[in-house]
Amino acid sequence: MDGNGRWAKERGQDRVYGHYEGVLSVREIVDACGDLGIGYLTLYAFSTENWNRPKTEVDALMELLVSTIKREIIDLDKNDVRVHLIGDLDSLPPACRDEMDEARRVTADNKGLNLIIALSYSARREIVEAAKKLATAAAQGQLNPADINERLFEDSLETAGFPDPELMIRTSGEHRISNFLLYQLAYAELYFTPVHWPDFRKKHLYEALLNYQGRERRFGKISEQIQSNSGTHA
């Protein structure tokens, strides 16, 4: 979700105003994904690098996270959304961490959209932590290093149990991954749009999904192999 600050600046407003407006897009996109029957939506809300922003903006973002989740939790629950979190949650202000934990707890039994919020998230950190976990298990004799494979590694990531993303959307015209799900995005389709996040609404999501549906995902194979396997697909 990129471009909140620029969106606000273009309107002669403070960056924080863009974050407030961005919440309305989050609401609409979460609803749309639920309606479409999408299984998993990951929102990159705050990266570990975002801590380096001016303190006033970081504080405003943390407060916005708390007030938003507090306000939305009832509707999320009603819509059968299950909230998950990834990232360095220990680094969050206690009020924010507590509110997020509460959202997780309240929605734990829901079976609809899995909404994964990446907060204070860094993919490199996640990968290093996974390596550390496996190395520790090996050093303690609980794991034979020869048994480490992709499956085991994936189970050590914060996204253990979630499928790999099929589509990554980045708004606001930047063509970067910015330390987001580096391992999991290996075969994701990437979609970039110049639309700033506060302007990104249902219509733009549909455009992204239609674009995705028109792509041929070959996973390293050749086109003919994919077509002969997909005969029964609508």
* Residue numbers at the binding site for ligand IPE (CB under 6 A): 1-6, 46, 50, 61, 172, 197
CB 38 → Mg ion: shortest distance, Å? 24
Site track 1-20 with Mg ion (rule: CB under 5 A), x = hit:
-x------------------
Task: Tell me if residue 50 is catalytic.
Answer: yes
Residue 50 binds which of ligand IPE, Mg ion, none (CB < 5-8 A, kind-dependent): ligand IPE
180, interface contact from Mg ion, ligand IPE, none, CB < 5-8 Å by kind: none
- Count CB neighbours of 158 within 10 A: 22
Q: Which is nearer to ligand IPE, 69 or 134 (CB)?
A: 69
Name 209's Cβ contacts closer than 8 Å, sequence gap at least 6: 36, 167
6 interacts with, out of Mg ion, ligand IPE, none, CB within 5 to 8 A per kind: ligand IPE
Q: At what angle do helices 15-36 and 55-78 cross, to 10 degrees?
A: 20
The active-site residue out of 14, 31, 50, 211 is 50
Give the Cα separation of 226 and 218 in Å (integer). 6
Read off the DSSP letter of residue 114: E
Give the CB-nearest residue to ligand IPE.
5
Nearest to 66 by CA among 115, 19, 127: 19
Backbone angles phi, psi at 156, to 5 degrees: -95, -5
Query: Please, what is the minimum distance in Å from the beta carbon of residue 46 to ligand IPE?
Result: 5
Is 62 in contact with 92 (CB distance < 8 Å)? yes
Residue 50: Cβ within 10 Å count: 16
Choice between 117 and 134, CB closer to ligand IPE: 117
Q: Can residue 126 be called a binding residue for Mg ion (CB under 5 A)?
A: no
Distance CA(39)–CA(44), nearest Å, equals 17
Query: Is 110 known to be catalytic?
Result: no
Binding site for Mg ion (CB under 5 A): 2
Active site residues: 2, 50
